[in-house]
Protein backbone atom coordinates (compact mmCIF):
# COMPACT_ATOMS: atom_id res chain seq x y z
CA UNK A 1 0.00 0.00 0.00
CA UNK A 2 1.58 3.31 -1.00
CA UNK A 3 1.39 6.69 0.76
CA UNK A 4 -1.27 8.19 -1.55
CA UNK A 5 -3.71 5.43 -0.66
CA UNK A 6 -2.99 5.96 3.02
CA UNK A 7 -3.49 9.70 2.65
CA UNK A 8 -6.85 9.27 0.93
CA UNK A 9 -8.02 6.81 3.56
CA UNK A 10 -6.93 9.13 6.38
CA UNK A 11 -8.59 12.10 4.67
CA UNK A 12 -11.86 10.19 4.28
CA UNK A 13 -11.72 9.17 7.92
CA UNK A 14 -11.10 12.77 9.01
CA UNK A 15 -14.05 14.07 6.97
CA UNK A 16 -16.34 11.38 8.40
CA UNK A 17 -15.25 12.27 11.93
CA UNK A 18 -15.90 15.97 11.34
CA UNK A 19 -19.36 15.25 9.94
CA UNK A 20 -20.21 13.04 12.89
CA UNK A 21 -18.98 15.72 15.26
CA UNK A 22 -21.35 18.27 13.70
CA UNK A 23 -24.28 15.90 14.11
CA UNK A 24 -23.44 15.19 17.72
CA UNK A 25 -22.94 18.82 18.74
CA UNK A 26 -26.56 19.25 19.64
CA UNK A 27 -26.62 16.04 21.65
CA UNK A 28 -23.41 16.98 23.42
CA UNK A 29 -24.83 20.32 24.54
CA UNK A 30 -27.85 18.61 26.04
CA UNK A 31 -25.94 15.80 27.71
CA UNK A 32 -22.98 17.89 28.89
CA UNK A 33 -24.72 19.14 31.99
CA UNK A 34 -25.97 15.67 32.93
CA UNK A 35 -22.52 14.09 32.39
CA UNK A 36 -20.88 16.62 34.66
CA UNK A 37 -23.30 15.67 37.39
CA UNK A 38 -22.75 11.91 36.90
CA UNK A 39 -18.98 12.06 36.39
CA UNK A 40 -17.08 10.40 39.27
CA UNK A 41 -14.05 12.04 40.83
CA UNK A 42 -11.75 9.27 39.51
CA UNK A 43 -12.18 10.47 35.93
CA UNK A 44 -11.38 14.11 36.50
CA UNK A 45 -8.10 13.67 34.60
CA UNK A 46 -10.16 12.89 31.48
CA UNK A 47 -11.68 16.38 31.41
CA UNK A 48 -9.01 17.59 29.02
CA UNK A 49 -10.53 15.34 26.36
CA UNK A 50 -14.02 16.77 26.86
CA UNK A 51 -15.24 19.34 24.42
CA UNK A 52 -15.29 22.79 25.95
CA UNK A 53 -18.45 24.74 25.08
CA UNK A 54 -16.27 27.72 24.12
CA UNK A 55 -14.49 25.57 21.53
CA UNK A 56 -17.77 24.41 20.11
CA UNK A 57 -18.40 26.31 16.98
CA UNK A 58 -19.06 25.28 13.45
CA UNK A 59 -16.05 24.63 11.26
CA UNK A 60 -15.98 26.20 7.85
CA UNK A 61 -14.34 24.78 4.74
CA UNK A 62 -11.11 26.76 5.17
CA UNK A 63 -10.58 25.45 8.69
CA UNK A 64 -11.30 21.90 7.57
CA UNK A 65 -8.89 22.36 4.68
CA UNK A 66 -6.15 23.77 6.94
CA UNK A 67 -6.70 20.96 9.46
CA UNK A 68 -6.50 18.41 6.68
CA UNK A 69 -3.36 20.00 5.20
CA UNK A 70 -1.70 20.03 8.63
CA UNK A 71 -2.79 16.47 9.26
CA UNK A 72 -1.47 15.29 5.90
CA UNK A 73 1.81 17.13 6.37
CA UNK A 74 2.26 15.48 9.75
CA UNK A 75 1.32 12.10 8.30
CA UNK A 76 3.67 12.61 5.36
CA UNK A 77 6.49 13.50 7.72
CA UNK A 78 5.73 10.43 9.83
CA UNK A 79 5.65 8.23 6.73
CA UNK A 80 8.90 9.71 5.41
CA UNK A 81 10.61 9.24 8.78
CA UNK A 82 9.27 5.71 9.01
CA UNK A 83 10.36 5.01 5.45
CA UNK A 84 13.83 6.41 6.13
CA UNK A 85 14.13 4.37 9.34
CA UNK A 86 12.96 1.26 7.51
CA UNK A 87 15.43 1.84 4.66
CA UNK A 88 18.28 2.40 7.11
CA UNK A 89 17.30 -0.71 9.06
CA UNK A 90 17.11 -2.78 5.87
CA UNK A 91 20.49 -1.44 4.69
CA UNK A 92 22.13 -2.22 8.05
CA UNK A 93 20.58 -5.68 8.22
CA UNK A 94 21.59 -6.33 4.60
CA UNK A 95 25.18 -5.33 5.38
CA UNK A 96 25.20 -7.60 8.44
CA UNK A 97 23.77 -10.52 6.48
CA UNK A 98 26.18 -9.85 3.61
CA UNK A 99 29.07 -9.85 6.06
CA UNK A 100 27.82 -13.11 7.59
CA UNK A 101 27.39 -14.65 4.14
CA UNK A 102 30.89 -13.55 3.10
CA UNK A 103 32.31 -15.06 6.28
CA UNK A 104 30.38 -18.26 5.68
CA UNK A 105 31.50 -18.33 2.04
CA UNK A 106 35.14 -17.94 3.09
CA UNK A 107 34.67 -20.70 5.68
CA UNK A 108 33.12 -22.98 3.02
CA UNK A 109 35.96 -22.27 0.59
CA UNK A 110 38.57 -23.02 3.25
CA UNK A 111 36.71 -26.19 4.22
CA UNK A 112 36.48 -27.20 0.55
CA UNK A 113 40.22 -26.61 0.02
CA UNK A 114 41.07 -28.50 3.20
CA UNK A 115 38.75 -31.34 2.19
CA UNK A 116 40.31 -31.46 -1.30
CA UNK A 117 43.80 -31.51 0.22
CA UNK A 118 42.84 -34.35 2.58
CA UNK A 119 41.09 -36.22 -0.21
CA UNK A 120 44.03 -35.83 -2.60
CA UNK A 121 46.51 -36.90 0.08
CA UNK A 122 44.26 -39.85 0.94
CA UNK A 123 44.11 -40.87 -2.74
CA UNK A 124 47.89 -40.55 -3.00
CA UNK A 125 48.41 -42.59 0.17
CA UNK A 126 45.94 -45.20 -1.09
CA UNK A 127 47.84 -45.46 -4.38
CA UNK A 128 51.13 -45.76 -2.48
CA UNK A 129 49.67 -48.45 -0.22
CA UNK A 130 48.25 -50.30 -3.23
CA UNK A 131 51.65 -50.13 -4.93
CA UNK A 132 53.40 -51.32 -1.76
CA UNK A 133 50.91 -54.18 -1.43
CA UNK A 134 51.48 -55.18 -5.03
CA UNK A 135 55.26 -55.07 -4.49
CA UNK A 136 54.86 -57.12 -1.31
CA UNK A 137 52.68 -59.63 -3.14
CA UNK A 138 55.28 -59.98 -5.90
CA UNK A 139 58.04 -60.29 -3.32
CA UNK A 140 55.97 -62.86 -1.40
CA UNK A 141 55.45 -64.94 -4.55
CA UNK A 142 59.15 -64.68 -5.42
CA UNK A 143 60.14 -65.63 -1.86
CA UNK A 144 57.62 -68.47 -1.88
CA UNK A 145 59.02 -69.82 -5.15
CA UNK A 146 62.58 -69.32 -3.95
CA UNK A 147 61.83 -70.93 -0.60
CA UNK A 148 59.97 -73.77 -2.31
CA UNK A 149 62.91 -74.37 -4.64
CA UNK A 150 65.34 -74.16 -1.74
CA UNK A 151 63.33 -76.64 0.35
CA UNK A 152 62.94 -78.92 -2.63
CA UNK A 153 66.68 -78.86 -3.17
CA UNK A 154 67.29 -79.49 0.53
CA UNK A 155 64.78 -82.34 0.57
CA UNK A 156 66.24 -83.77 -2.63
CA UNK A 157 69.73 -83.57 -1.11
CA UNK A 158 68.50 -85.20 2.12
CA UNK A 159 66.67 -87.87 0.13
CA UNK A 160 69.71 -88.51 -2.01
CA UNK A 161 71.94 -88.64 1.09
CA UNK A 162 69.70 -91.15 2.94
CA UNK A 163 69.17 -93.16 -0.21
CA UNK A 164 72.91 -93.48 -0.58
CA UNK A 165 73.24 -94.49 3.06
CA UNK A 166 70.44 -97.05 2.77
CA UNK A 167 71.93 -98.45 -0.44
CA UNK A 168 75.25 -98.77 1.35
CA UNK A 169 73.52 -100.60 4.17
CA UNK A 170 71.72 -102.83 1.68
CA UNK A 171 74.91 -103.64 -0.16
CA UNK A 172 76.60 -104.27 3.09
CA UNK A 173 73.85 -106.67 4.12
CA UNK A 174 73.80 -108.43 0.84
CA UNK A 175 77.42 -109.37 1.27
CA UNK A 176 77.02 -110.48 4.85
CA UNK A 177 74.44 -112.45 6.70
CA UNK A 178 72.66 -110.75 9.55
CA UNK A 179 70.50 -112.47 12.04
CA UNK A 180 67.77 -109.77 12.03
CA UNK A 181 65.59 -110.16 8.93
CA UNK A 182 63.02 -107.69 10.20
CA UNK A 183 65.51 -104.85 10.04
CA UNK A 184 66.52 -105.92 6.57
CA UNK A 185 62.88 -105.93 5.44
CA UNK A 186 62.35 -102.40 6.85
CA UNK A 187 65.34 -101.07 4.89
CA UNK A 188 64.01 -102.69 1.69
CA UNK A 189 60.56 -101.17 2.29
CA UNK A 190 62.07 -97.71 2.77
CA UNK A 191 64.10 -98.06 -0.42
CA UNK A 192 61.00 -99.12 -2.33
CA UNK A 193 59.09 -96.04 -1.05
CA UNK A 194 61.98 -93.75 -2.02
CA UNK A 195 62.17 -95.19 -5.50
In the chain, where the domains are located: 3-94, 147-194
Q: Is the pLDDT of residue 3 over 50?
A: yes
More confident: 17 or 143: 143
CA distances from 1 to 4, 9, 13, 47 (A): 8, 11, 17, 37
Q: What is the pLDDT of residues 35-85, one digit of tens each?
A: 555 545 544 444 444 555 555 456 688 888 888 899 999 999 999 999 999
Measured CA to CA, the distance from residue 3 to residue 82 in angstroms comes to 11
Give percent of the chain above pLDDT 90: 36
pLDDT of residue 17: 79
Q: How many CA atoms lie within 13 A of 11 on its CB side?
A: 15
Average pLDDT, the chain: 78
Q: Is the pLDDT of residue 107 over 90?
A: yes
Give percent of the chain above pLDDT 70: 71
Q: How confident is the model at residue 167 (pLDDT cuts 50, 70, 90)?
A: confident
More confident: 18 or 138: 138
Q: Which of 110-114, 117-121, 178-182 has the lowest mean pLDDT?
A: 178-182
Measured CA to CA, the distance from residue 93 to residue 64 in angstroms comes to 42
- Mean pLDDT to the nearest integer, 119-148: 92
Measured CA to CA, the distance from residue 15 to residue 71 in angstroms comes to 12
Q: How confident is the model at residue 24 (pLDDT cuts 50, 70, 90)?
A: confident
Neighbours of 68 (CB within 10 A): 16
Q: Return the C-alpha torsion angle 7, 13, 15, 17, nearest 10.
A: -150
pLDDT of residue 46: 47
More confident: 1 or 34: 34
Amino acid sequence: MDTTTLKEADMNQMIIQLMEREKKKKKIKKNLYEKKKLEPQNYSHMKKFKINPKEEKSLNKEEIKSHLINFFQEQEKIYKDEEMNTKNYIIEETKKKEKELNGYYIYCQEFKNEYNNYFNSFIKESEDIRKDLKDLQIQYMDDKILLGNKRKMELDNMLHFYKEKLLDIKNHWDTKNFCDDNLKNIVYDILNVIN
